[in-house]
Amino acid sequence: MTRKTKIFATVALIIIAAAAVCYWQVRQFAASPLTITQEKIFTLPAGTGRVALEAQLESQHIVKPSPWFGVLLKLEPELAKFKAGTYRLDTGMNVRQLLTLLASGKEAQFPVRFTEGTRLQDVLHELRSSPWIKHTLKDDRPETVAAALKLKEGESLEGWLWPDTWLYTANTTDVALLQRAHQRMKTEVARIWQERMPDLPYKTPNDLVTMASIIEKETAVSDERTKVASVFINRLRTGMRLQTDPTVIYGMGESYNGALTRKDLETPTPYNTYTINGLPPGPIALPGKASLEAAAHPVKSNYLYFVADGKGGHTFTTNLASHNRAVQAWRMTIKEKNER
């Protein structure tokens, strides 16, 4: 072997060895853990390049400064196809997993809860307090919301949002979430309306949703919902007023201070079922599926009254005398509890 050949071979070995060391270093860097100590939400702006991404990760103390970041992206170009978005980074992730996530486009999902028994104003407040939602509604007036969702004239969202935990990605608009919940409610109500018992005293699906919202506010006991429904159905059929407190409270709006007086019960509003006949003009809260089903399938009974039993449920009765005795029993139970 000539001297020149030996030199060439030696240089080649050095280059191969250096390349092997570099490759090992890159592999080590890719497998190194992120420097975060708790879950972190990371937003990658649109148009961010490799250099800017590296600087952002280092400045936010997500990845340690390293000469191997750019080399890794060149050796594994599929990791360089990162997409703009907001991502959830876990403490157990390493650099390769981070870059794989950014390349996948699987953005973080955030929850917002629309709860059974709450009003439209409560839902809008929940949206306002959710930091990752893009707020586009200029205010929370029902007319503003109705216009944003392009509802028909006279149509309202009150009671017409499906209660659930809704997942969304960062910068999803408030209107988009409301549209999803509204469409789901319309779909479910349409199905339940078609499957309802015959001869119920409802003229429209809105009547059914209104009844379901009252049931939702009257009881949280699962096996009571169909009984509560039967009381109100029987009252509608016999021409009795519904006389349900939650409708009075809804009609009072902001003037309700937590306690109902006789004057409140006697003061007419469009929703005061102590002063109006039949159902109020619309729902008073978001009804859940169980209440919708109860409104569509009430148990057959002769019940006309119910009152709290002081134990978390209600006593159902068929006549005023029995109802009055149940009221007295409830008052005694409450008195005994207060005296303990």
Q: Is residue 3 part of a domain?
A: no
Q: Is residue 132 part of a domain?
A: yes
**Which domain does 320 fall in, by range?**
203-339
pLDDT 10s per residue in the chain (340 long)? 566 665 565 555 556 655 555 667 778 889 999 999 999 999 999 999 999 999 999 999 999 998 889 889 998 999 999 999 999 999 989 999 999 999 999 999 999 999 999 999 999 999 999 989 999 999 999 999 999 999 998 899 999 999 999 999 999 999 999 999 999 999 999 999 999 999 999 999 999 999 999 999 999 899 999 999 999 999 999 999 999 999 999 999 999 988 899 999 999 999 999 999 999 999 999 999 999 999 999 999 999 999 988 888 999 999 999 999 988 888 887 776 776 6
From first CA to last CA, the distance across the chain in angstroms is 105
CA distances, 271 to each of 86, 177, 216, 275, 302 (Å): 44, 28, 16, 9, 25
Q: Do 308 and 283 lie in a common domain? A: yes
Q: Is residue 159 part of a domain?
A: yes
User: Domain count of the chain?
Assistant: 3
- Say how far apart CA 305 and CA 144 lie, in whole Å: 39
Q: Is residue 197 part of a domain?
A: no
- Amino acid 68 reads W
The pLDDT value given to residue 312:
84
**Domain-terminating residue out of 158, 189, 220:** 189
**Domain-terminating residue out of 55, 84, 104:** 104
Q: Do 207 and 335 lie in a common domain? A: yes
Q: Do 98 and 137 lie in a common domain? A: no
Q: Is residue 332 part of a domain?
A: yes
Q: Is residue 155 part of a domain?
A: yes
The pLDDT value given to residue 327:
87
- Domain CATH code at residue 70: 3.30.1490.480
The pLDDT value given to residue 318:
95
Q: Do 77 and 125 lie in a common domain? A: no
Q: Is residue 52 part of a domain?
A: yes
- Per DSSP (E only), the strands in the chain are 40-44, 85-89, 110-114, 133-134, 164-168, 172-173, 305-308, 314-317
Q: Do 64 and 136 lie in a common domain? A: no
Q: Do 166 and 256 lie in a common domain? A: no
**Domain-terminating residue out of 189, 219, 240:** 189
Q: Is residue 43 part of a domain?
A: yes
The pLDDT value given to residue 262:
93
